[in-house]
Amino acid sequence: MSAGTTFQPDMAHSSEVRPSADFDGAKSAVAAFSKTRSATQALCAPLQIEDYGVQPMPDASPPKWHLAHTTWFFETFLLKTFSKGYSAFHPAFEHLFNSYYNGVGEPFPRSRRGHLSRPTVDEVTAYRQHVDAEVCALLDLAEQGDCWAEISRILLLGLHHEQQHLELLLTDIKYNLRHNPLHPAYVSGSHGAGSGEKEVAGLNPSEQIQHKPLGFDAFRPGLVEIGANSGFCFDNELPRHSVFVRSFALADRVITNREFLAFMDDGGYRRPDLWLSEAWANRQPEDQHRPLYWRMHDDDWYEYRLEGGLSKLDLDAPVVHVSGYEAAAFAAWSDARLPTEFEWEVAARDQVICGNFVEEGVFHPRPLGPDNKQLFGDVWEWTSSSYGPYPGYRPLPGVLGEYNGKFMSSQWVLRGGSCATPRDHIRSSYRNFFYPKDAWQFSGIRLAKDL
Amino acid sequence: MSAGTTFQPDMAHSSEVRPSADFDGAKSAVAAFSKTRSATQALCAPLQIEDYGVQPMPDASPPKWHLAHTTWFFETFLLKTFSKGYSAFHPAFEHLFNSYYNGVGEPFPRSRRGHLSRPTVDEVTAYRQHVDAEVCALLDLAEQGDCWAEISRILLLGLHHEQQHLELLLTDIKYNLRHNPLHPAYVSGSHGAGSGEKEVAGLNPSEQIQHKPLGFDAFRPGLVEIGANSGFCFDNELPRHSVFVRSFALADRVITNREFLAFMDDGGYRRPDLWLSEAWANRQPEDQHRPLYWRMHDDDWYEYRLEGGLSKLDLDAPVVHVSGYEAAAFAAWSDARLPTEFEWEVAARDQVICGNFVEEGVFHPRPLGPDNKQLFGDVWEWTSSSYGPYPGYRPLPGVLGEYNGKFMSSQWVLRGGSCATPRDHIRSSYRNFFYPKDAWQFSGIRLAKDL
Amino acid sequence: MSAGTTFQPDMAHSSEVRPSADFDGAKSAVAAFSKTRSATQALCAPLQIEDYGVQPMPDASPPKWHLAHTTWFFETFLLKTFSKGYSAFHPAFEHLFNSYYNGVGEPFPRSRRGHLSRPTVDEVTAYRQHVDAEVCALLDLAEQGDCWAEISRILLLGLHHEQQHLELLLTDIKYNLRHNPLHPAYVSGSHGAGSGEKEVAGLNPSEQIQHKPLGFDAFRPGLVEIGANSGFCFDNELPRHSVFVRSFALADRVITNREFLAFMDDGGYRRPDLWLSEAWANRQPEDQHRPLYWRMHDDDWYEYRLEGGLSKLDLDAPVVHVSGYEAAAFAAWSDARLPTEFEWEVAARDQVICGNFVEEGVFHPRPLGPDNKQLFGDVWEWTSSSYGPYPGYRPLPGVLGEYNGKFMSSQWVLRGGSCATPRDHIRSSYRNFFYPKDAWQFSGIRLAKDL
Amino acid sequence: MSAGTTFQPDMAHSSEVRPSADFDGAKSAVAAFSKTRSATQALCAPLQIEDYGVQPMPDASPPKWHLAHTTWFFETFLLKTFSKGYSAFHPAFEHLFNSYYNGVGEPFPRSRRGHLSRPTVDEVTAYRQHVDAEVCALLDLAEQGDCWAEISRILLLGLHHEQQHLELLLTDIKYNLRHNPLHPAYVSGSHGAGSGEKEVAGLNPSEQIQHKPLGFDAFRPGLVEIGANSGFCFDNELPRHSVFVRSFALADRVITNREFLAFMDDGGYRRPDLWLSEAWANRQPEDQHRPLYWRMHDDDWYEYRLEGGLSKLDLDAPVVHVSGYEAAAFAAWSDARLPTEFEWEVAARDQVICGNFVEEGVFHPRPLGPDNKQLFGDVWEWTSSSYGPYPGYRPLPGVLGEYNGKFMSSQWVLRGGSCATPRDHIRSSYRNFFYPKDAWQFSGIRLAKDL
């Protein structure tokens, strides 16, 4: 949508869609299941056994835990419910790998996940294989049964759940490797420190791009329909409902490292007027006045990347791993603001979903390319919207009702997916949410303005 | 507005009103100033010197501090700016009594306000008298000057600011007295422990009222105008803007102690499915599974009141001093929800502002009377809305921009005023805000439902 | 004792003395009681009502609390036990003013003493007067009774207890006034900031003194008797027992501000090799690398004093308000060490008890005078001895057994009394004890060396 | 030493022995080095790769860290100092594996040792092999050189250092495995849960032993020599010096689980009069009122052991993993006390050093056998002595001075070694030290009494 375009308020009746399966049958279900499960496993290939267990901060769970928890999800909600005679792979796993479902029992404390040297990686792998085989067997058997709709609905939820953890797996691995003083790379790559000089020379195409000034697309006011309207979605994207959106302008790309450096150089971290009160009261010591993965070395800025490890900062790449507080302060400094999640959705809903996703294997946001507004992929975009229920929101029935609803306080919505998100996981109605202090996700900044 | 009434969407252009003075001139300004300043002082009459200084928790500032800080506000924003040759009453007070205006300098740490035995109450009283005289003198002089509009605008803001602190003064005094094992009353009254028996007998009128079951008024969907449209308002009530509100039902009174007891008796505090994740993770020990000021004694529930001290719980009075988390859990248990702030405003905007305010001198919510929905006064009503900026929001210019905007994260909106609010301080567009964990304000519960 | 003197090991049998009364009868008991009680009260004369209630850190109890607690001691251990028909002055005071005697009941939490605006100062004064009258009446009645010995024993303990709180009253008042940004003086005096210039000029006598270099007295090795041997003492000074003390040298005066400044100027706070591991791990930020009550102002060092408030640092006065960690680091820097409590006692046991005590009304250590080694008064002297039981130690019977014994872990012994100690409270066997991190007592440094 | 024996005060001159090597030459040095290094490695054989990295509490370092740190010690203090041309195995290891030697540089934070997934176990093994080879080469070369005495002195210290970490390795592995809800055994054994029934039947021999009542050996008073007098020792065992010890009685064995259960059954954990003030103030919740590794299951007490995992509690085995606070409370309940470290040394100095050490491969204290007082091995015995410097103590010169001295505050001395101590590591003058709150070492209780 280019500047000046009018959007037409969508007054269609808000149908109360719910997550629904679209599997043709067991065969396609098994195929989807196998593909997603393999994708998770494939991302662990570069790890050492030792990397599977560490938890350098409470939020960054060990890879081993992600592998086991996603398996626990299928075991708990599919096998234990629908698979006759199924007995748990291990009696303690119900407790150990429950993330936060109080309805299933008291979960093992999150902050202590990294204290568990057992089960070993081999045992967790065996757990995955066992559950995978049992799920495939269940799907084959259930195809003709009464529960097929319910089973395929939960299967689909489980696959999207696994995709969420696939991204967390990457962000948690990154946090761990970066905070190790050896800062090992996850995978080697063209951006590695070793190839620093060459790489900067090779940046010529993006050097040109950098001169593209930040533009804004204008949107006229109107009543719009917000929320999912077809296909799978999480309960928090429903119901589709009407929102009146005033005229606004949205930046035509995300903010770059070059722009964020200008904020820093202008003393942005030292000006209380730019910061929310909570952020200022809890501000970090001065040596952490920078995005989470940046480091100064010999008067040059470096950034840790999964691919290649510590690398010279690419000034034209999107700034990433900034907190919501940093995003809001940058926006205030820019005499702009963050968009609401509704504004973002209005701008994104007619866009083709393409961009730099996890399938690219780059694991880092890329400088702006031609014909792209970076709405999808690259970086999650902080919005100014507090994460809350849509009008008429109903959580899923039963224990799965704990999936989303109970987190609807104190967090902010992020939109658009990142370079660590599977391409088929994202959509324009997708609502991600983190605390505004969080920065270890691939989170970046898009500006908005009133018109 | 009775059940089934349709409201007409108000499509009028949202005029960007700003706080503006309506003083006829210096005389009326001085009168308004004197009235508000005296009201604050009058509420301190029952205090002992010792009561002025304590701060039993970081949020509950000492009365002495409130008295000085409201004075500091006039000194800083009126006298130092507009009063020629004015020199500070005391050079250290700029630092000591700055609440949170970083633009004025580094404020004295909030959590240490109770550590200041000096200045004494007498010295603070002298500070008030000095500033009062200077402000009156300034008003007289300025009436014909160029700055009159600006001065009267800031004066008006200062008076509403003082009214906010008048309410905080009462809630902070209550917190202090209640948490003293001697639980002294603030003022003696008919609800005092001494008159317990009689009082319960005297409740007959409300005994009848209690049988009035909770009803719901229905509201049809539509696009409505939200925000202030005339008279004084804070910047956070602006701009007036359009919001699409779905059909909903709103309870025709607030929740009573009797109803909250039923929630407790049904194990409401022990069911994780009713609570937000943050609330459950930080839940209190079991002996605090009750509203903040309740106490069990000889198998009877008592409640601490400013008037009369510890008193037998009046089952028909509104439940008060519940946190937002408790309000949301109660709503979930009731198979209902909290209203959004927009729904509340829709229901309240055409109501006459009457109710149990601080001028009644009861300092406690009262059982429902006839012809009343308790929308104003009695208790602040938790909404489900996160406190955020309205679309197009602009903070006040300069240091006063820190008044509201920087607190727009992690808090929830409350509406309607309480028994500790001055009657002329409240309006249907008024947005109060506290953290959902907070319970020391006069906060209660009104339910809403989807239709 | 001059350098080179031999001391004779005292091999006398260690008689197991216990605190014992030496009152001639009721008349002398009442006189002693009245004198001590009045002394406490007299120290409060300069206070404002507001000063009685604050508690700026958990260890610094409010003056009001000290006044009530010492009264509680007599009420609990004398009146409730021996006074027939005595009923408590107020039923809640047993809980409110119990310091740490679990045998009496759960004490009110120490850290919240400053949250109690009630009882008021007037009510506490009435409490004191009531108990004083009752105690005097009891003494008159009991003189001829069977319990006289027990009563006078407890009375004596209560008076020494009150003297301990008299000193704490002063140190806690000092902490409060100093940490108030207005830094009011407790009493005006010749050292006040206002008289700064003159005072420095007036220092000539001590300027001469400063040139007296630090000397050391030598002591030969031997078996010595340690502990109290006559008169009143606390249980922790008993039993008198033999300790073999190696040859050592003890400094002939305490360390001055001038000497401590040299340590600071030499980077003493930045050298980990000088500090105990606990101290280094918990070291303060750089702007607190100085004794607790020092402040730099316009490139000059100032020190807060009870008398006169913030005053220019007197370089020849003893350094005071240093923690045990600071004392030990200074000693390490000096290529010396702190004395053991036994070495200190060996040096002090034959000295006349004279010095700068609370009766002087100076409330601050003074530069060294002639014919004085500053062993008594001026500053408490940190020793290297952990506070523990003497061999054969037995706590007092009953609840009073909680007086001393249960604190015998993690603290260090200090010796000699200070400028805030009553002269007749101290003796060479007296053992004071604080955590090595504590600095708000009048604590200073004396060096020792091996020979 | 049987009851009633007189010991002869040892008045011999206290020779200032220092750690000294007794190697015949390079060959015996290499042999000792290889033996100790292999012993450490052998204890890791039962571990999974995942077990090497976890740190379930700040004090329990990961096994990988112990393996690397002991290597770092030789690399830093031997190779970097004496091996010409030696370059560090990895530049970051100096920082990563420095425990607390500030003289070498800022150590990596202790509490984050478990956050390091790299270097891997294979890399640490390579580090060990590299340093081992280099040390052996150095020893061969240095045998005839000028530095041989210094090198062999440091080598010997390094070997004793490695033995200390060998014990910590076991206690840290135990802590980890026990706090894993799967509670895996370290090695399988006869005490395992699987063999529970049989084992209890098999306890008959010790059932008889249990009837041996606790006896006390009496010791007459006198001046004794305390501290090391020949062979290797740590600096904290010096200088040998005279201490006057009063008559006392020492229990003839350590306390059993049966006896500790009696304390618990008598409400020992709920009686404040038995506990030090610090311990009571920080007491654990009621479900942790038991030794650290005990668990109640189906009304039976179980205990976690390295050998066999969770096992039925052997009532006749020594109680182990109690804190100093628990030991002192038990002693108070027994109307006894803990011995001083001097009393313990007096009783132990003429005993043959035999007992249940790590070489037994049992890794758990055993019931009392015949002809044994359990002074050595089985459990470390808490003393009442605060850990402090002996009179005349001098730390080692240079950075190694940080080895012991800087920890001499707030800790208590333990004596005698445990079932996790190498037999040739212990001696009667050996002083171990931990905070009185610590319970994860193999620490037990021996009583003493005054005579």
Which of C273, C275, C388 has its CB closest to that of D384? C388
List phi, psi (to 5°) of B346: -60, -45
pLDDT tier at A21, thresholds 50, 70, 90: low
Q: What is the pLDDT of residues D208-228, one digit of tens each?
A: 455 579 999 999 999 999 999
pLDDT band (50, 70, 90) for residue D36:
very high
**Residues 6 or more apart whose Cβ sits within 8 Å of residue A360:** A419
D434 found inside a domain: yes
Do residues B253 and B368 make contact, with C-beta atoms less than 8 angstroms apart?
A: yes
Our measurement of the distance from residue D188's CA atom to the centroid of its chain's CA atoms, rounded to an integer in Å, reads 23
Rounded to whole angstroms, the Cα distance separating C240 from A383 reads 74
Q: Are C118 and B182 in contact (CB under 8 A)?
A: yes
Distance from the Cα of C118 to chain B's closest Cα (Å) equals 7
Q: Which band of pLDDT confidence, cut at 50, 70 and 90, is reported for residue D394?
A: very high
Nearest to C50 among B92, B118, B176 (CB): B118
- Tell me which chains share at least 3 CB pairs under 8 Å with chain C: B, D
Which amino acid does the sequence have at A51?
D
DSSP D213: -
Which residue of chain B comes nearest to A410, CA vs CA?
Answer: B410
Give the pLDDT band (50/70/90) at residue A3: very low
d(CA C155, CA D428): 48
Residue in chain C closest to D274 (alpha carbons) equals C406
Of A242, A275, A278, the CB nearest to B410: A278
For the cut 60, the answer to whether the pLDDT of residue D90 exceeds it is yes
Residue ending a domain, among C178, C210, C229, is C178
Nearest to C438 by CA among C108, C171, C182: C171
* Predicted local confidence at residue D195, as pLDDT: 37
**D14 has a pLDDT exceeding 60:** no
The fraction of chain A above a pLDDT of 90, given in percent, is 87
Contact D92 A182 (CB under 8 A): yes
State the pairing for strand pair B309-312/B380-386: unpaired
Per residue in C221-267, pLDDT (tens digit) is 999 999 999 899 999 999 999 999 999 999 999 999 999 999 999 99
Q: Show the domain range for B328.
A: 192-450
pLDDT exceeds 60 at position A8: no
Q: Give the model's confidence band at D20: pLDDT under 50 very low, under 70 low, under 90 confident, else very high.
A: very low
Q: Is A8 domain-assigned?
A: no
Alpha helices in D148-256 (DSSP H): 148-179, 196-201, 204-210
Task: Indicate the pLDDT class of residue B370, thresholds 50, 70 and 90.
Answer: confident
Domain check: are B262 and B320 in the same one? yes
Residue C10 lies in a domain: no
* Spatial distance between the Cα atoms of C286 and C294, rounded to a whole number of angstroms: 13
Report pLDDT digits (tens) over D412-424: 999 999 999 999 9
Nearest CB among C103, C278, C450 relative to D392 is that of C450
What confidence score (pLDDT) does residue A22 get?
A: 65
Same domain, D174 and D197: no
A221-230: average pLDDT: 95
Position D230 scores a pLDDT of 86
pLDDT for A307-350, tens place per residue?
Answer: 999 999 999 999 999 999 999 999 999 999 999 999 999 999 99
Which residues from C are below 8 Å from D227, CB to CB? none
Query: Does an H or E element contain B383, and which?
Result: strand B380-386
- Mark whether D302 and D160 lie in a shared domain: no
Dump pLDDT digits (tens) for A240-253.
999 999 999 999 99
Does D83 lie in the same domain as D168?
yes
Residue A175 phi/psi, 5° resolution? -60, -45
Supply the pLDDT for residue D212. Answer: 78
> Could you tell me how many CB contacts below 8 A there are between chain B and chain C?
87
Q: What is the pLDDT of residue C206?
A: 45
3-state SS, residue B385: strand
Q: Neighbouring chains of B at 3+ CB pairs within 8 Å?
A: A, C
- Residue A169 or residue A398, greater confidence: A169
Q: Are residues A32 and A170 in the same domain?
A: yes
Answer yes or no: is D103 within a domain: yes
pLDDT of the residue at C371? 74
- Given a cut of 50, whether residue D204 has pLDDT beyond it is no
pLDDT given for residue B211 in this prediction: 58
Within-domain flag for D1: no
pLDDT of residue C190 exceeding 90? no
Minimal Cβ distance to C100: which of D243, D277, D410:
D277
Cα B353 versus chain centre, distance: 15
On whether the CB atoms of residues D166 and D422 are closer than 8 A, the answer is yes
What is the pLDDT, as a whole number, of residue D190? 62
pLDDT at residue C370 is higher than 90: no
A358 has a pLDDT exceeding 70: yes
Residue C9 has pLDDT above 70, yes or no: no
Residues in chain B closer than 8 A to A409 (CB atoms): 276-279, 386, 410, 412, 436
Q: Would you state the pLDDT for residue D21?
A: 53
Domain CATH for D337: 3.90.1580.10
* pLDDT given for residue D353 in this prediction: 95
Please determine, for residue C193, whether its predicted confidence score (pLDDT) is greater than 60: no
Nearest Cα neighbor of B445 from B338, B301, B288 is: B338
Total domain count for chain A? 2
Query: What is the pTM (predicted TM-score) of this model?
Result: 0.93
Whether B and A touch, i.e. at least 3 CB pairs below 8 A, reads as yes
Question: Nearest-CA residue of chain B relative to A406?
Answer: B276
* Residues belonging to chain D with any Cβ–Cβ distance to chain A shorter than 8 Å: 48-56, 64, 92, 95-96, 108, 112, 114-121, 176-177, 179-182, 184
Say which amino acid occupies B131: V
- Show residues of chain A in contact with B276, CB under 8 Å: 406-409
- pLDDT bin (cut points 50, 70, 90) of residue A176 is very high
pLDDT tens digit string along C14-23? 333 334 456 8
User: Half-sphere exposure (CA, 13 Å, Cβ side) for C90?
Assistant: 18
How far, in Å, CA of B420 to CA of B321, rounded? Answer: 12
Per-residue pLDDT reduced to its tens digit, D350-377? 999 999 999 999 999 999 988 789 999 9
Q: Which helix (H) or strand (E) holds D280?
A: helix D277-281
Give the chain C residue nearest B61 (alpha carbons).
C115
Neighbours of A300 (CB within 10 A): 10
**Largest Cα–Cα distance of chain D, in whole Å?**
67
CA distances from C405 to C163, C393, C394, C439, D279 (A): 19, 9, 8, 22, 13
Q: Where are the alpha helices (DSSP H) in A285-401?
A: 324-333, 341-348
**Omega prior to B119 cis, within 30 of 0:** yes
For C371, other C-beta atoms within 10 Å of its C-beta total 6
Tens of pLDDT, residue by residue over A44-66, are 999 999 999 999 999 999 999 99
Nearest-5° Cα angle at A382, A376 to A383: 105
Q: Is residue A7 part of a domain?
A: no
Q: Determine the pLDDT at residue C248.
A: 98
Nearest-CA distance C381 → chain D (Å):
17
Neighbours of chain D (3+ CB pairs under 8 A): A, C
Among A422-431, C185-194, C306-315, the minimum mean pLDDT is found in C185-194
User: Is the pLDDT at B11 greater than 60, yes or no?
Assistant: no
Assess contact for B268 and B330: CB atoms under 8 A.
yes
Lowest mean pLDDT among A182-196, C134-148, C369-383: A182-196
Residue D5 located in a structural domain = no
In this structure, are residues A73 and A94 in contact, taking their beta carbons and an 8 Å threshold? no
Specify whether A128 is located in the same domain as A270. Answer: no
- pLDDT over 70, % of chain C: 90
D269 and D203 together in one domain:
yes
Of C54, C117, C177, the CB nearest to B48: C117
Q: Say yes or no for a CB contact (<8 Å) between A407 and B276.
A: yes
For residue B100, give the amino acid letter.
Answer: Y
Q: Which residues of C touch B92 (CB under 8 A)?
A: 181-182
Q: Which residues in chain B are closer than 8 Å to A392, comparing Cβ atoms?
A: 246, 450
What chain B residue is nearest to C173 in terms of C-alpha separation? B117
Q: Is the pLDDT of residue B198 over 70?
A: no
Domain boundary among A127, A146, A178: A178
Distance from CA of C322 to the nearest CA of D (A): 17
CA distance C429 to C351: 12
Residue type, D286: E
Asked if C431 and C307 sit in the same domain, the reply is yes
Q: What single string gives the DSSP state of each residue in D117-177?
A: --S-HHHHHHHHHHHHHHHHHHHHHHTTSTTHHHHHHHHHHHHHHHHHHHHHHHHHHHHHH
Measured between beta carbons, which residues in chain B are less than 8 angstroms from residue A340? 391
Find, in chain D, the residue whose alpha carbon is nearest to that of A58: D115
Together in a domain, A169 and A292? no
Q: What value does the CA radius of gyration of chain B take, rounded to a whole number of Å?
A: 22
Asked if the model's pLDDT at residue A230 lies above 90, the reply is no
DSSP B65-86: HHHHHHHHHHIIIIIHHHSTT-
- Say yes or no to pLDDT of B71 above 60: yes
Confidence grade of residue D200 (pLDDT, cut at 50, 70, 90): very low
**What residue has token string 């963050």?**
A338
Using a pLDDT cut of 90, give the percent of chain D over it. Answer: 87
Q: Which residues are CB-contacts of C359 (< 8 A; sequence separation ≥ 6)? A: C422, C423
CA–CA separation, A75 and A94 (whole Å): 9
For chains C and D, count residue pairs whose Cβ atoms are closer than 8 Å.
Answer: 86
Structural domain contains residue B21: no
Judging by DSSP bridges, how do beta strands A432-434 and B241-245 pair with one another? unpaired
Q: Most C CBs within 10 Å: which of B47, B94, B118, B310, as the mutation test of the C interface?
A: B118
- pLDDT value of residue C208: 46
Closest CA to B332 of D366, A402, A344: A402
Which residues are CB-contacts of D363 (< 8 A; sequence separation ≥ 6)? D170, D174, D186, D187, D305, D306, D307, D419, D420
Is-contact B76 B100, C-beta < 8 A? Answer: no
Which residues from chain C sit within 8 angstroms of residue D16, using beta carbons?
none
Residue B450 neighbours by CB under 8 Å, 6+ apart: A391, A392, B246, B247, B248, B249, B337
One DSSP character per residue, C22-89 reads ---SHHHHHHHHHHHHHHHHHHTTT--GGGGT--SSTTS--HHHHHHHHHHHHIIIIIHHHSTT---S
pLDDT band at C211 (very low <50, low <70, confident <90, very high): low
Which residue has tokens 């949107």?
A219
**Which chain B residues have a beta carbon less than 8 Å from that of A223?**
223, 244
- The model's pLDDT over C122-137, given as tens digits with 9 standing for 90+, comes to 999 999 999 999 999 9
Q: Is the pLDDT of residue D19 over 80?
A: no
CB contact under 8 A, A54 and D114: yes
Nearest to B333 by CA among B382, B282, B270, B251: B270
Q: Is A106 exposed, middle or buried (0-12, 13-18, 19+ CB in 10 A)?
A: exposed
pLDDT value at A10 more than 50: no
Taking an 8 Å cut-off on Cβ atoms, the answer to whether A384 and B386 are in contact is no
Mutate to test the interface with D, among A48, A49, A50 (most CBs of D within 10 A): A50
What is the per-residue pLDDT for B60?
Answer: 97
C169, C244: one domain: no
- The pLDDT tens digits of the residues spanning D231-256 come to 999 999 999 999 999 999 999 999 99
Please choose, from the candidates D349, D138, D126, the residue with its C-alpha nearest in 3D space to the C-alpha of residue D227: D349
Are the C-beta atoms of C3 and C218 separated by less than 8 Å? yes
- pLDDT computed for residue A300 by the predictor: 97
Q: How close does chain B come to A410, measured CA to CA in Å? A: 4
Lookup result for tokens 């009681």: C33
CB contact under 8 A, A56 and D115: yes
**Co-location of D172 and D196 in the same domain:** no
Is a pLDDT exceeding 50 seen at residue B354? Answer: yes
Domain boundary among D124, D152, D178: D178
The shortest C-alpha distance from B56 to chain C (Å) reads 5
On whether both A295 and A216 belong to a single domain, the answer is: yes
